[in-house]
């Protein structure tokens, strides 16, 4: 089998395990915060939001640094760093004794993230140009499948084996991702780019045909993600307030958290066909109206 096909299959499983690992913790995170001694409703809501968001905040800050390092040292090294780093950070979260420890470890998890973007870049750089669209689309299904299956699996495990055990299982999945990357992925020789040949961020932005469009898409995406992410930290608490006697809060939270992903997976081809057959702006307006 050609090396790029082996790499594609390997990083597919790596991205699947990574998406599964990240998403299966989120639905019951507020319940874990409560288990660590946070009792008042106000403090519980605040700490749930902080521990939920700090991972993504730190990841957004350090992503450019990891991307620059990947250009110099290689994508495989970054895949190994991300999978092993997140495995260790999540494993330690299972042994947190207070919410401050959990908060710091969640920040460390964000610091070591970056598996999926580097996997995308690795595949894009190795796949033949005529197969690149198919390969990247195939790889994207790994993340989507992991994000959809993660909340369901995490909620089920949390209700049946306990919250702390889920962190250990998640760390094991990421360790599998690390081993698959270590032994199966072959990066090969990378083209050497001198410092003079590298484009600065300003130069890259100036080369875009419609920079204003990119800025608009950046801010609209930011607002959409802000709205979507604001519900996640309090979802389990909201369900618990509606069903205080339920013994399956974590599973219910995971099931509800997975529903938007399933809907997106089903509706994506429909929206894509509409966008192809009409103006993209009209498709965006229809999506905004549907969300409203």
pLDDT tier, 269 (very low <50, low <70, confident <90, very high otherwise): low
The pLDDT assigned to 274 comes to 59
Can you tell me the distance from the alpha carbon of 282 to that of 228, in angstroms, rounded to the nearest whole number? 22
The pLDDT assigned to 2 comes to 80
261 has pLDDT over 80: no
Q: Would you tell me the crossing angle of helices 249-277 and 132-161 to the nearest 10 degrees?
A: 160
The conformation of residue 192, written as its DSSP 8-state character, comes to -
Can you tell me the distance from the alpha carbon of 69 to that of 66, in angstroms, rounded to the nearest whole number? 5
Can you tell me the distance from the alpha carbon of 77 to that of 73, in angstroms, rounded to the nearest whole number? 7
Longest dimension (CA), the chain: 65
The pLDDT assigned to 258 comes to 82
Can you tell me the distance from the alpha carbon of 184 to that of 144, in angstroms, rounded to the nearest whole number? 22
| Domains observed in the chain | 3-188+213-291 (1.20.1250.20)
Q: Could you report the per-residue pLDDT of 151-192, keeping only the tens digit for each?
A: 989 999 998 999 999 999 999 999 999 999 999 888 776 656
Percent of the chain with pLDDT over 70: 85
pLDDT tier, 222 (very low <50, low <70, confident <90, very high otherwise): confident
Q: Could you report the per-residue pLDDT of 17-69, keeping only the tens digit for each?
A: 888 888 888 888 999 999 999 988 889 989 999 999 999 899 989 998 998 88
In the block, residue with structure tokens 């964000």: 110
């Amino acid at each position: 089998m050609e090396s790029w096909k082996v790499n594609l299959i390997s990083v597919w499983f790596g991205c699947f395990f990574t998406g599964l690992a990240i998403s299966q913790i989120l639905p019951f995170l507020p319940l874990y915060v409560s288990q660590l001694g946070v009792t008042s409703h106000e403090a519980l809501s605040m700490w749930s939001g902080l521990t939920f968001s700090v991972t993504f905040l730190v990841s957004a800050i350090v992503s450019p640094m990891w991307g620059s390092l990947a250009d110099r040292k290689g994508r495989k090294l970054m895949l190994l760093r991300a999978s092993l780093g997140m495995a260790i950070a999540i494993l330690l979260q299972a042994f947190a004794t207070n919410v401050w420890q959990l908060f710091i470890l969640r920040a460390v998890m964000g610091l070591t993230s970056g598996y999926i973007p580097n996997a995308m870049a690795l595949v894009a750089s190795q796949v033949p140009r005529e197969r690149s669209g198919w390969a990247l689309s195939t790889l994207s299904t790994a993340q989507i499948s992991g994000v959809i299956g993660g909340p369901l699996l995490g909620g089920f495990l949390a209700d049946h084996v306990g919250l702390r055990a889920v962190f250990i299982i998640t760390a094991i999945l990421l360790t599998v991702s690390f081993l698959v990357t270590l032994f199966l992925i072959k990066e090969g020789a990378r083209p050497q780019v001198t410092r003079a040949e590298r484009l600065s961020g300003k130069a890259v932005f100036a080369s875009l045909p419609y920079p204003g469009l990119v800025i608009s898409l950046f801010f609209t995406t930011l607002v959409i993600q802000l709205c979507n992410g604001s519900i996640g930290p309090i979802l389990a608490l909201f369900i618990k307030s509606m069903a205080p006697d339920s013994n399956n809060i974590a599973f219910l939270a995971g099931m509800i958290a997975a529903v938007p992903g399933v809907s997106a997976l089903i509706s994506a081809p429909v929206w894509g066909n509409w966008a192809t057959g009409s103006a993209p702006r009209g498709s965006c307006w229809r999506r905004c109206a549907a969300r409203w």
